[in-house]
A and B are shown apart, each in its own frame.
Chain A
Amino acid sequence: MSAAATAHDSEAAQTHEQRALGFWLYLMGDAVIFALLFATYVIMVNNTDGGPAGRDLFDLRNAAIETALLLVSSTTFGFASLSARTGNRGAVLFWLLVTFGLGAAFVSLEIREFAGMIAAGAGPDRSGFLSAFFTLVGTHGLHVSVGLVWILIMCGQVMMKGLSVPVVSRLFRLGLFWHFLDIAWVGIFSIVYLPGLL
């Protein structure tokens, strides 16, 4: 490899490291937001104003399916990252689309759950508990939806630009985002759904 190419590579690596750190700082800010929404939920969980509580509303089977969908999607995204490292474009697209499908199934289940609760008169305006619930779980669902749009954008970039250095660098940051959302979901089923049904 020529000296110029080596210099170019190390410059690209440095740019990648800087952007990864910047994105990591954003994720840590997001972690603080989620932590405070969790704290609000824990403080409000008993303020049901005579309305339905968690045990009347939550469906453990639904929560288990949502958990499985997100966990498997985190793993399939890992396969996409590995395929990007070996330069296998078709495999990257395949695993990104599988991840998208799992994430979309998660969001549709969540929307159905929310719609069912609102139809049963347990919307976010019913009690402090439900306001906190919809804010916390809805914020997570919104993040996953943004992640889905991002996955589609990256599919387009992988198809049109190939696995160029900037595209792989963006895929890496999308991976950080997607795995981070799975961690936030661990908090949601451990603080919202499981204690609510205990």
Chain B
Amino acid sequence: MQNHSGHDLRSYLIGFVLAVVLTAIPFYVVITHALPPSRAMILIGVAAILQILVHLKFFLHINFTTTPKENLLAIVFTVVLIFIMVGGSFWIMFDLHQRMAV
């Protein structure tokens, strides 16, 4: 029914392998304590963002050619909303935390 190009077996398998790799790396680092905590956190964050992009592309088949404009706009709007609400919450709460600690 969906005539999306790339919506085939290969797409799911590539997505699966990439997701396994991007999951295994942060788990391995946490199990072995191979990196100091601050660097491990950065690695966990980068792997998570990459994996979310992999899921969007290979499992949800979001791309810039066959995905309807409205759906892409909804994603962009949601990302902006999340940035404002989550960023704003962190700004307020961590600032408050700091002031209360003094």
Asked if B30 contacts A194 (CB within 8 A), the reply is: yes
**Range of interface residues on chain A?**
35 or more
Asked if A39 contacts B74 (CB within 8 A), the reply is: no
Asked if A60 contacts B86 (CB within 8 A), the reply is: no
Bound Cα distance from A172 to B7, whole angstroms: 12
Could you tell me the dominant secondary structure of chain B's interface residues? helix
The yes or no answer to A183 lying at the interface (CB within 8 A) is yes
Could you tell me the dominant secondary structure of chain A's interface residues? helix
The yes or no answer to A118 lying at the interface (CB within 8 A) is no
Asked if A42 contacts B1 (CB within 8 A), the reply is: no
In this complex, the member of B1, B75, B78, B93 whose beta carbon has the largest number of chain A beta carbons within 10 angstroms is B1
Asked if A82 contacts B48 (CB within 8 A), the reply is: no
The yes or no answer to B31 lying at the interface (CB within 8 A) is yes
Asked if B27 contacts A194 (CB within 8 A), the reply is: yes
Asked if A195 contacts B60 (CB within 8 A), the reply is: no
Bound Cα distance from A31 to B52, whole angstroms: 12
Bound Cα distance from A64 to B90, whole angstroms: 29
Asked if B86 contacts A39 (CB within 8 A), the reply is: yes
Shortest A45–chain B CB gap in Å is: 12
Q: Which residues of A are at the interface with B, using a C-beta cutoff of 8 A?
A: 16-17, 20-21, 24-25, 28, 31-32, 35-36, 38-40, 42-43, 60, 64, 67, 71-72, 74-75, 78-79, 82, 84-85, 165, 168-169, 172, 176, 179-180, 182-183, 186-187, 189-191, 194-195, 197-198
Q: Which residues of B are at the interface with A, using a C-beta cutoff of 8 A?
A: 1-2, 7-9, 11-13, 15-16, 19-20, 23, 26-27, 30-31, 37, 40-41, 44-45, 47-48, 51-52, 55-56, 59-60, 68, 70-71, 74-75, 77-78, 81-82, 85-86, 89-90, 93-94
